[in-house]
Each structure stands twice: as structure tokens, then as C-alpha cells.
């Protein structure tokens, strides 16, 4: 189901978003902590939906997981294949996952659901390919993010393709209507790093520093992005 709308988004990621992508394999501290948090185990089958260039899959593979991924961008998948030659990778939309029912122990979609054309269908597909007791981990942006509400932040440059920002209650409703049960939610604090704070453009660096210092103290309802750990409803 690669529609003209999907192809337009794929072109954005192939030629703009991933234009200067690298195949750096250095482990990310926040992804390592995330793998600890959800207890990725050796031998687990892990699927990352919108896997990009494979940073999260590489983290899972280091734990001994058997990894699979799908992304709309062929450029991203090509880089991911170079990084992780033993992985099972596919180019295509999240709304039609090319995997059998009840396949994966962990299904993740990190910072990408908001960019999908049919988000409820994509979530239903994730639920379909997950085993009955699987963990389904989804990271989404929060319309209650304080700088967003104060008009100091308007979204990512991926708005040029597609971006939907919802409140935490709206995301929870979407996930539940698609067949998931939200078991836990927590803050995404990946920006507490020098790499995020001290990057271009330099003129917004002071704002990024203040934001990084404030996020740990802010309540969940003010966070930029929030993890949702889900399971299939019985």
C-alpha cells in the first residue's frame, strides 16, 4: 500500500531528512538506558517500525535480540542494512507490515507515529504482529509541551512531510481504540546530552540548555515526548 501520498513522504526522507546521514555505530546512552528499562533479552524478536538508520535496532542487537525493521525511506534502510547486515529489513509504510501475526516479543515505534498517514491503522498493524504478551513501545510528541503551548516551539522540520501533535489523553485514546492497553508512561529525556545541546544552529543553544535543565523537573503533562509502554488487550 505505497500510495502517492506515501511516496511523497518517502521522497522527503530519502532526499532531505536522510541526505547527509552517517552510519555511525557508537552506542547511544539514552537508548542503552531504554533497553534496560524494558528489559530487552537475548533471543527476543524485536521489530522497530520506522527504524530509520537502525540506532535502536543496533542497541537491541547488542542485547542478543533478533531484529527486524521497516521504514518508508530506502536511503535509511540501505544505511541500516550496512550497519546491521544480519537484520531483516523492509522498505514500506507502517500501515501494511510485511510480517505474520503474533511474531514479535517487542514492537517499537519511536518518534515516528506522528508522521504516519493513517496512525490508527499503523497501530493496529503493530498490535497484529505482536505476540499476545509482547511489549509495544511507542514514543510520541505531546501537545501539552510547555514551549509548544507558549508558541516557542512549532514542531520539527518533518512537518514538511507530515506531523500530528496530540495531547497525552488523545494519544492514549488512539492507542486504546486501536486495541492496545497503556500500562506505563514516562518522560523522554534523551536531550540531556551534550550532543543535543551543543549542536547547530548555535543561536538556539541557550534555549536547548534551559530546556534540558528544566525537563527532569517538569511534570509528565509538560514533557516534549512521552514513552507509552503498551500490550495487546486480552
pLDDT, averaged per 10 consecutive residues of the chain (234 residues), comes to: 85 86 74 96 98 96 97 96 96 97 98 95 98 97 80 64 90 97 94 68 76 83 94 88
**Domain map (residue ranges) of the chain:** 4-19+42-191+221-232
Write down the pTM of the prediction: 0.90
Instruction: Give residue 229's pLDDT.
Output: 98
pLDDT in tens, 109-135: 999 999 999 999 999 999 999 999 999
Q: What angle do CA 107, 2, 67 make, to 5 degrees?
A: 25
Nearest Cα neighbor of 76 from 114, 22, 30, 6 is 22
Instruction: Give residue 153's pLDDT.
Output: 62
* Residues 62, 143: Cα–Cα separation, whole Å: 34
For 4-19+42-191+221-232, the fitting CATH number among 3.30.390.30, 3.40.50.150, 3.40.50.300, 3.30.750.24 is: 3.40.50.150
Amino acid at each position: 500500500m505505497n500510495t502517492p501520498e506515501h511516496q511523497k513522504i518517502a521522497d522527503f526522507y530519502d532526499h532531505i531528512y536522510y541526505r547527509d546521514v552517517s552510519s555511525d555505530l557508537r552506542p547511544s546512552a539514552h537508548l542503552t538506558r531504554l533497553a534496560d528499562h524494558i528489559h530487552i533479552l537475548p533471543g527476543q524478536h524485536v521489530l522497530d517500525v520506522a527504524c530509520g538508520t537502525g540506532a535502536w535496532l543496533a542497541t537491541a542487537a547488542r542485547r542478543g535480540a533478533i531484529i527486524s525493521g521497516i521504514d518508508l525511506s530506502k536511503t535509511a534502510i540501505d544505511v541500516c542494512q550496512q550497519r546491521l547486515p544480519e537484520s531483516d529489513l523492509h522498505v514500506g509504510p507502517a500501515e501494511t507490515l510485511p510480517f505474520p501475526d503474533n511474531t514479535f516479543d517487542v514492537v517499537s515505534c519511536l518518534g515516528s507515529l506522528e508522521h504516519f498517514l493513517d496512525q490508527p491503522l499503523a497501530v493496529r498493524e503493530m498490535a497484529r504482529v505482536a505476540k499476545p504478551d509482547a511489549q509495544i513501545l511507542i514514543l510520541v510528541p505531546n501537545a501539552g509541551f510547555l514551549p509548544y503551548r507558549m508558541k516557542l516551539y512549532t514542531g520539527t522540520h518533518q512537518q514538511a512531510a507530515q506531523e500530528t501533535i496530540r495531547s497525552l489523553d488523545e494519544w492514549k485514546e488512539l492507542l486504546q481504540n486501536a486495541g492496545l492497553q497503556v500500562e506505563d508512561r514516562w518522560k523522554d529525556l534523551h536531550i540531556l546530552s551534550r550532543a543535543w545541546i551543543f549542536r547547530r544552529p548555535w543561536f538556539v543553544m541557550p534555549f536547548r540548555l534551559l530546556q534540558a535543565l528544566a525537563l527532569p523537573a517538569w511534570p509528565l503533562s509538560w514533557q516534549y515526548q512521552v514513552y507509552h509502554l503498551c500490550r495487546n488487550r486480552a
